[in-house]
Amino acid sequence: MKEFLTFTKKEFLHIFRDTWTMMIILVLPLVMMLLFGYAVTTEIRNTNIGILDYSKDETTRSIINRVQESEYFTISNYFNSYDEIDQSFKSSENSLVIVFGENFSENLLHLRKADIQIVADASDPNAAKTLVNYLSNIIGSTLKDLNKTTIENYEIKPELKLLYNPLMKSSYNFVPGVMGFIIILVCAMMTSISIVREKEKGTMELLLASPTSPITIIVSKLIPYFVISLINIITIFLVSYFIMGVPINGSLFWIFILCILYILVSLSLGILISTVSDTQLMALVISAILLLMPSMLLSGMLFNIESMPLILQGIAQAMPAKWFISAIRKLMIMGVDAKYVLHEFGALLLMEVIIIGISLKKFKKRLE
Amino acid sequence: MKAVRVNNISKAYKGKLALEDISFEVEKGELFGIIGPDGAGKTTLFRIMTTLILADEGEAKVDDYDVVKDYKLIRERVGYMPGRFSLYQDLTVIENLDFFASLFNTTVEENYDLIKDIYKQIEPFKDRRAGALSGGMKQKLALSCALIHKPSVLFLDEPTTGVDPVSRKEFWHMLKNLQKQGITIVVSTPYMDEANLCNRIALINNGEFLDIDSPQNLIKKFPKKLYSVEGDNMPKLLKTLRANDNIETCFSFGDCCHITLNNETKDNDYKEIQPSIEDYFIRLSK
């Protein structure tokens, strides 16, 4: 027991004395939270929009007012001719332009139709599509309000009701994602690197030549990373709850059980990577390519898994992060009972058993 | 009981033989040297004796324990200092020492007597990180760590490589003191001049032992008279000597050449000298 404590203490000293390790495991999680929360947001807000109005009448003015009032758009430019539009896109002054045809109000009144055109910069197709949707909704509802006395303009419109995240806040999506990513980073990558560092620096040779069992050596190396991961999880929860207003609807108990299980899976992955790598660089590359990147791209955090090609969907199933993120979304955001995430728990548990099995088999009590 | 007994050990790495049929014994309390150039197989042999790797063939025993079956018991009773400085550079001197003490379930205080003479020299720097120590101090710290659990056999793999001449001398002095305290020491080195300080030495080259004996006996075994020839232009001197039919062997040694003759002639101009371990090693490994 005493040697176990000395080992753990030594491991903490390694971490505390290395500025870069400290930055990665304690500062990076916060930076990621803030980046995703405020900078890389997928929500649309304050998009610059340009107006080319050939009519300048009552109706166009009220549409423009509505657009201006909405939180999504800010009017940046008023154009006088079509030629100016192209220039404004190229100089990135705005990414959207509304063009009103001539005699807008009169045409609408007499011909029951009027010319309106939305020009969008589709170099980012997803954003363009969302913007056009928002804008068409605003225009549609304005026209509807203006014409509400006329019965002929009667039309059926679907009404969407968004459950669990009615405001479509992206923080509901990225908080579980950031947690999934950070734990893989701290547990799998940093642990594997710290174990391989002992091999590379030759200290593993001395440890193995001592009577201390290899299992003690490894387990005591994992403890600090386990503790730090828990601290990270709690920090992320506090930041997301108090600063970003993400609700915690489900049982805290089950959320923590899930986090602990996921931390254990990640730690075992770290051991596994350390048994196949001989250099720190190799451990870094393996964990970055096989774990970090897929945990970001294939976990459902950034892209929807169901719309991926089949082969990528298959790979995604093997990512612990995918199961963790799915379960934490259900527990935290939807607030479901633990029995609805049995599937995810089962998958993580199965992974843990397999990974520990392989690691123990591959683990050496000698140098080669 | 012998401290170390090695029987017919062979070891190959990816088909390349690193050790070939090595056998030797080390008496209790002996200072045994394994002398040979880099790549001769010294580190492989040390790792087999310290249970870190397995030999392909043959068996080895330390304190009568088998290195394969009883590896745990051996790990408890040997001290090992690898060739490369392998302590934690980001921990301080005292932290390293404490760590290795608890690794062997002991404390620094318990065996302080054993390391006192060595540790006293680095104690003023005990709060300095190991990475910031000079080469000689690093080596003293490594030796202290290897000794902290009072091992019965001490394995030192090239302890003096990369250390300045003064510290090397000091280090061998420390080894002699440890030997007086009853610790068996097996040490390897590429420096032939250190061989004379061992009780017995084994000469190793290309994974094979060339000879095992005391340094004095090994020198006596040199079969010929050895002469030294000096000259200003070494390449030219070598060329001239090698062209001479009566000269059997000729090797450059610093600013002179050591030669042996096929037929000893009376009063030749060459200066006869006492052969050294190195002369004998070169002759054997030819």
Residues of B in contact with A202 (CB under 8 A): 82, 84-86
In the prediction, which pLDDT does B128 show? 95
Residue A140 in domain: yes
Cβ-based contacts of B72 with chain A (< 8 Å): 211
CA distances to B84, B241, B277 from B161, in Å: 9, 33, 18
Residues of A with CB under 8 A from a CB of B: 2-3, 6, 10, 13-14, 17-18, 201-203, 205-212, 365-368
Q: Does B102 contact A3 at a Cβ distance shorter than 8 Å? A: yes
Each residue's pLDDT tens digit, B133-185: 988 899 999 999 999 999 999 999 999 888 888 889 999 999 999 999 999 99
Find the residue in B nearest to A3 (Cα): B102
Specify if A219 maps to a domain: yes
Please indicate, yes or no, whether residues A177 and A242 belong to a single structural domain of this protein.
yes
Q: What is the rounded distance in angstroms from the CA atom of residue A340 to the CA atom of residue B96?
A: 50
- Which chain A residue lies closest to B49 (C-alpha atoms)? A209
Chain B: nearest CA to A219, how far in angstroms? Answer: 15
Using CB atoms, pick whichever of A3, A10, A367 lies closest to residue B53: A367
Mutation target for A interface from B84, B85, B102: give the one with most A CBs within 10 A: B102
Burial annotation A235-274 (CB, 10 A radius, 16+ → b, else e): ebbebbeeebebeeebeeebbeebbebbbbbbbbbbbbbb
Fold of B4-219: Rossmann fold (3.40.50)
Q: Quick check: B239 contacting A, CB < 8 Å?
A: no
Nearest to B224 by CA among B246, B239, B191, B255: B246
The nearest CA of chain B is from the CA of A26 a distance in Å of 20
Per 3-state DSSP, what percentage of chain A is helix, strand, and coil (rounded to 5)?
65, 5, 25
Predicted local distance difference test score (pLDDT) of residue A154 = 43
pLDDT per residue over B52-69, tens digit each? 999 999 999 999 999 999
| Per-residue pLDDT of chain A in tens (368 residues, 90 and over written 9) | 777 888 899 999 999 999 998 998 889 988 888 887 776 655 667 888 999 998 888 888 888 888 888 888 888 889 888 888 888 888 888 888 888 888 888 887 787 778 888 888 887 777 777 788 888 888 888 877 776 545 454 444 555 566 666 666 667 778 888 889 999 988 999 999 999 999 999 999 999 999 988 888 888 889 999 999 999 999 999 988 888 888 888 899 999 999 999 999 999 999 999 999 999 999 999 999 999 998 888 887 777 788 888 898 899 999 999 999 999 988 988 888 888 899 999 999 999 999 999 988 887 777 77
- What is the residue extent of each domain of chain B? 4-219, 222-285
Contact predicate B192/B160, CB 8 Å: no
A210: nearest CB among B53, B85, B104: B104
- Most B CBs within 10 A among A9, A22, A201, A210, hence the mutation to make, goes to A210
Q: What is the pLDDT of residue A39?
A: 66
- The answer to whether residue A73 is domain-embedded is yes
Whether A339 and A265 share a structural domain: yes
CA distance A194 to B241: 58
Residue A346 · residue A195 · CB < 8 Å: no
- What's the structural domain count of chain A? 2
A153 in any annotated domain? no
Instruction: Using CA coordinates, name the residue in chain B closest to A217.
Output: B103
CATH number of the CATH domain containing A97: 3.40.1710.10
Residue of chain B with shortest Cα separation from A197:
B88
Distance between first and last Cα of chain A: 28
Name the band, by pLDDT with cuts 50, 70 and 90, for residue B256: confident
C-alpha A348: how far from chain center:
20
Range of the domain at A352: 2-40+169-362
Q: Distances in Å between the alpha carbon of A359 and those of A180, A364, B104?
A: 22, 10, 26
A28 plus A80 within the same structural domain: no
Please check whether residues A138 and A201 belong to one and the same domain: no
> Do the domain assignments include residue A326?
yes
